[in-house]
C-alpha cells in the first residue's frame, strides 16, 4: 500500500461504500457488537489500513491488540498459504499433525511457568476465552478445589466460566445470571485510583489485604480456593499497570495457601509490552498461563499452558474440535519468529518514545490525568479535574471520534481512558504522527 500521505481521509466518514456496509450489518448482524465508529476495512499492511472508500488510517487498535506483526505480514501470509495447500483441518483432538506439536515445543521454550523446567504442555483452543476456560477447568481438576478469586475491573472472556471471572463492565454480565458459582472478586492494584486510599510511593499492595482478611475470612476457606486469576496489566479495565509489589505479594499469597496462579496474558502477551510476556516485567512465574490475541497475527488461536506435571488430565477431560487448527498454528510459528526477530525490541523502543511524548502532553492538556503503560500497551486516562480525578467519560467518547475523523483508529479502555495498542511494527515516525493528531484531538474537545 504505497502512500505518500498517512493518514489520508478523502471522503466524509463514513464514505458511501462504508455506509452501505454498515446499513447491511445493522440488518443482519448481532446487535451485541460494540462499534465506536463506522470504519469498514478493505485492506491493510503493517500499521496502515484502508477502508472501502479509499480512506487511509493509522491503526492503533490492531484488531483489539491482535495483529502484532502488522496486517498481512508477508511471512505470516506465506505460512498460512503453504499450510492451506497441504491441509486445512484434521482436529488435534483425535489426530496428530506436526504444526501443533511444533508450536507446543516452541511455547515450552519461552513460557515462564513456575517449576516447569522446560517440561510444559499446551492445550489449544480458538480464543482467549477458551484459553481462560481451559485454565479454570485445569486448576479445578488439578487442585481438587472449587473456588476461584479474580479481580475487579478484569476481563477474561464472555463464555460463562470466563464471564464469571470478568468484572470490567456490568453490561457484559447483565442478563446472563446467575454466574458460575465459586467466583470471588478482590480490588486490583489501580494505583492512580488506589482502592484503599494510599499513595504509590508508600504502597505495599495493601489492596491484597482484602483477599486474606475479607474473602478468606468471611467467604471461603483458602484450602478450598483452586486458583487466583489475574491480568499482569489490566486491559479492558483501563490499561492499569500495578506496582511490582502487587504481583510479588500475590505470588507469595498463593504459594502460602497452595493456590494455583493463573496469569491471563491474552492481551498483554506476545511482545505487546516490550517483553514476550508482561509477567516478565514483574519477575512473575505463574502456574498456568492463558495466551491468545497476538499469538497468530489474526488467525483464531488460544492456548492454555502449564507444567507437564500439572496438566495430567486424562483423554476426554477437555477438548476442542477446531482448537490448534493447522493453519492457525502455522501462522503462530511464523509470528514467534517475527517477534523474537525484532518486533519485541521495536515495541519496547517505540513504546518508550510514544509514552514519553504522551506524558509531555500533560503540560498542555489538563484533561490528561494519567499516562501509563509498557511497550506498545499504553493507556491515557482523562479527567475533568486532576485534583478530584472526576472521570471524563463523555470527553473520552468525543476523543475517540475526533481521532477517527483525523485518520487514527483507537479504542477506549475502562470508563474514561483510551488505549494505544498498535501493531508492533509501528515506526517512530508513525508514533509521532499519532501523538500529533492526539494533541489536535484533545484541543478539539
Assign 3-class secondary structure to 161-172: HHHHHCCCCHHH
Q: What is the DSSP letter of 313?
A: P
Cα(281)–Cα(344) distance, integer angstroms? 13
Bridging pattern class, strands 377-385 and 368-374: antiparallel
Residue 250 pLDDT exceeds 90: yes
| Closest C-alpha among 411, 391, 412, 399 to residue 438 | 399
- Per-residue confidence band for 196, with pLDDT thresholds at 50, 70 and 90: confident
Residue 149 pLDDT exceeds 60: yes
CATH number, position 329: 3.40.640.10
- The gap between the terminal CA atoms of the chain, to the nearest Å, is 32
Clarify whether residues 48 and 149 are in a common domain.
no
Q: Are 378 and 410 in contact (CB under 8 A)?
A: no
Is there a domain that residue 297 lies in?
yes
* Phi, psi dihedrals of residue 134, rounded to the nearest 5°: -65, -40
pLDDT at residue 107 in the model:
97
DSSP 3-state of 399: helix
Clarify whether residues 160 and 172 are in a common domain.
yes
Is there a domain that residue 8 lies in?
no
Residue 2 pLDDT exceeds 70: no
Clarify whether residues 358 and 397 are in a common domain.
yes
Residue 116 pLDDT exceeds 70: no
pLDDT at residue 439 in the model:
98
pLDDT at residue 198 in the model:
81
Clarify whether residues 322 and 360 are in a common domain.
no
Q: Are 44 and 71 in contact (CB under 8 A)?
A: yes
Kindly compute the dihedral angle of the four CA atoms of residues 174, 178, 183, 186, in this order, to the nearest 10 degrees.
40
- Per-residue confidence band for 232, with pLDDT thresholds at 50, 70 and 90: very high
Domain end position, chosen among 317, 338, 359 = 338
Is there a domain that residue 11 lies in?
no
User: What percent of the chain has pLDDT above 70?
Assistant: 99
Q: Are 1 and 50 in contact (CB under 8 A)?
A: yes
* Phi, psi dihedrals of residue 45, rounded to the nearest 5°: -150, 125
pLDDT at residue 83 in the model:
98
pLDDT at residue 180 in the model:
94
pLDDT at residue 135 in the model:
98
Cα(402)–Cα(444) distance, integer angstroms? 8
Clarify whether residues 32 and 137 are in a common domain.
no
Is there a domain that residue 257 lies in?
yes
Ordered DSSP codes for 139-195: HHHHHT--EEEEETT----SSHHHHHH--S-GGGTTTSPSPPSSEEEE----GGG-T
pLDDT at residue 156 in the model:
97
pLDDT at residue 201 in the model:
75
pLDDT at residue 203 in the model:
83
User: Which bin fits 189, alpha (ψ -120 to 50), beta or left (φ > 0)?
Assistant: beta
Q: Are 414 and 368 in contact (CB under 8 A)?
A: no
Cα(214)–Cα(217) distance, integer angstroms? 5
Q: Chain-wide mean pLDDT for the chain?
A: 96
pLDDT at residue 34 in the model:
93
User: What percent of the chain has pLDDT above 90?
Assistant: 95
Clarify whether residues 316 and 216 are in a common domain.
yes
Residue 238 pLDDT exceeds 80: yes
User: Lowest-pLDDT range, 112-126, 150-164, 423-437?
Assistant: 112-126
Is there a domain that residue 4 lies in?
no
The predicted model gives 195-215 an average pLDDT of 88
pLDDT at residue 197 in the model:
84
pLDDT at residue 315 in the model:
95
What is the domain extent for residue 384? Answer: 16-73+342-444
Q: Are 362 and 368 in contact (CB under 8 A)?
A: yes
pLDDT at residue 4 in the model:
67
Domain end position, chosen among 316, 338, 360 = 338
Cα(373)–Cα(418) distance, integer angstroms? 12
Clarify whether residues 330 and 418 are in a common domain.
no
Clarify whether residues 115 and 56 are in a common domain.
no
User: Lowest-pLDDT range, 1-10, 54-63, 332-341?
Assistant: 1-10
CATH number, position 44: 3.90.1150.10
Domain end position, chosen among 294, 321, 338 = 338
Residue 1 pLDDT exceeds 90: no
| Closest C-alpha among 410, 275, 279, 241 to residue 351 | 275
pLDDT at residue 236 in the model:
94
Is there a domain that residue 20 lies in?
yes
How much is the pTM?
0.96
DSSP 3-state of 305: strand
User: Lowest-pLDDT range, 6-20, 164-178, 289-303, 373-387?
Assistant: 164-178
* Helix pair angle (326-338, 74-86), 10° resolution: 150
Residue 202 pLDDT exceeds 80: no
The predicted model gives 145-166 an average pLDDT of 96
CA angle 65, 81, 134 (to 5 degrees): 45
The predicted model gives 306-317 an average pLDDT of 96
Clarify whether residues 62 and 111 are in a common domain.
no
- Per-residue confidence band for 444, with pLDDT thresholds at 50, 70 and 90: very high
* Phi, psi dihedrals of residue 302, rounded to the nearest 5°: -135, 145
Is there a domain that residue 7 lies in?
no
Q: pLDDT tens across 262-273, in order?
A: 999 999 999 999
- Per-residue confidence band for 200, with pLDDT thresholds at 50, 70 and 90: confident
Clarify whether residues 126 and 22 are in a common domain.
no
Amino acid at each position: 500500500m504505497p502512500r505518500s500521505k498517512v493518514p489520508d481521509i478523502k471522503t466524509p466518514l463514513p464514505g458511501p461504500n462504508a455506509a452501505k456496509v454498515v446499513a447491511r450489518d445493522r440488518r443482519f448482524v448481532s446487535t451485541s457488537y460494540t462499534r465506536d465508529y463506522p470504519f469498514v476495512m478493505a485492506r491493510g499492511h503493517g500499521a496502515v489500513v484502508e477502508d472501502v472508500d479509499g480512506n487511509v488510517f493509522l491503526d492503533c487498535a490492531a484488531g483489539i491488540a491482535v495483529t502484532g506483526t502488522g496486517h498481512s505480514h508477508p511471512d505470516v501470509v506465506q505460512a498460512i498459504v503453504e499450510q492451506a495447500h497441504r491441509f486445512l483441518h484434521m482436529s488435534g483432538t483425535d489426530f496428530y499433525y506436526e504444526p501443533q506439536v511444533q508450536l507446543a515445543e516452541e511455547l515450552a521454550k519461552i513460557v515462564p511457568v513456575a517449576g516447569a523446567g522446560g517440561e510444559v504442555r499446551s492445550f489449544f483452543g480458538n480464543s482467549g476465552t477458551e484459553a481462560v476456560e481451559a485454565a479454570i477447568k485445569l486448576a479445578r481438576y488439578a487442585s481438587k478445589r472449587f473456588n476461584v478469586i479474580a479481580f475487579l475491573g478484569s476481563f477474561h472472556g464472555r463464555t460463562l466460566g470466563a464471564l464469571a471471572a470478568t468484572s470490567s463492565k456490568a453490561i457484559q454480565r447483565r442478563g446472563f445470571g446467575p454466574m458460575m458459582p465459586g467466583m470471588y472478586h478482590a480490588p486490583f492494584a489501580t494505583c492512580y485510583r488506589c482502592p484503599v486510599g494510599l499513595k504509590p510511593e508508600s504502597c505495599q499492595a495493601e489492596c491484597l489485604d482484602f483477599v486474606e482478611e475479607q474473602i478468606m475470612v468471611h467467604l471461603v476457606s483458602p484450602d478450598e480456593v483452586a486458583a487466583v486469576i489475574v491480568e499482569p496489566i489490566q486491559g479492558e479495565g483501563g490499561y492499569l499497570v500495578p506496582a511490582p509489589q502487587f504481583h510479588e505479594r500475590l505470588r507469595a499469597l498463593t504459594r502460602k495457601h497452595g493456590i494455583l496462579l493463573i496469569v491471563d496474558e491474552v492481551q498483554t502477551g506476545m511482545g505487546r509490552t516490550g517483553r514476550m510476556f508482561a509477567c516478565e516485567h514483574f519477575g512473575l512465574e505463574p502456574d498456568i498461563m492463558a495466551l491468545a490475541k497476538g499469538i497468530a497475527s489474526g488467525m483464531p488461536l488460544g492456548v492454555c499452558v502449564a507444567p507437564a506435571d500439572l496438566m495430567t488430565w486424562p483423554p476426554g477431560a477437555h477438548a476442542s474440535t477446531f482448537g490448534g487448527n493447522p493453519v492457525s498454528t502455522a501462522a503462530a510459528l511464523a509470528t514467534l519468529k517475527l517477534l523474537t526477530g525484532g518486533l519485541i525490541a521495536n515495541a519496547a523502543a517505540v513504546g518508550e518514545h510514544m509514552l514519553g511524548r504522551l506524558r509531555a502532553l500533560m503540560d498542555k492538556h489538563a484533561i490528561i490525568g494519567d499516562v501509563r503503560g509498557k511497550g506498545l500497551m499504553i493507556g491515557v486516562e482523562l479527567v475533568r479535574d486532576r485534583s478530584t480525578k472526576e472521570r471524563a467519560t463523555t470527553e473520552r467518547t468525543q476523543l475517540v471520534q475526533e481521532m477517527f475523523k483525523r485518520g487514527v483508529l483507537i479504542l477506549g479502555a475502562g470508563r474514561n481512558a483510551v488505549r494505544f495498542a498498535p501493531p508492533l511494527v509501528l515506526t517512530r515516525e508513525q508514533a509521532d504522527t499519532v501523538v500529533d493528531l492526539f494533541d489536535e484531538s484533545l484541543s478539539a474537545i
